[in-house]
Amino acid sequence: MNDYRKKRKSSTSLWVAIGAIILIVLLIVWLTMADFWHDTDVAAFLTPAGFSQALSFLTL
Considering its fold, how many domains does the chain have in total?
Answer: 1
Higher pLDDT, 29 or 55: 29
Euclidean distance between CA atoms 52 and 46, whole angstroms: 9
Residue 30 has pLDDT above 60, yes or no: yes
On the CB side of 21, how many CA atoms lie within 13 Å of its CA?
Answer: 6
Domain range for 15: 2-58
> In angstroms, how far is CA 45 from the centroid of its own chain?
16
Q: What is the pLDDT of residue 10?
A: 75
* pLDDT computed for residue 12 by the predictor: 83
Rounded distance, CA 43 to CA 39, Å? 12
Q: Each residue of 38-60: pLDDT tens digit?
A: 776 655 554 555 556 666 666 65
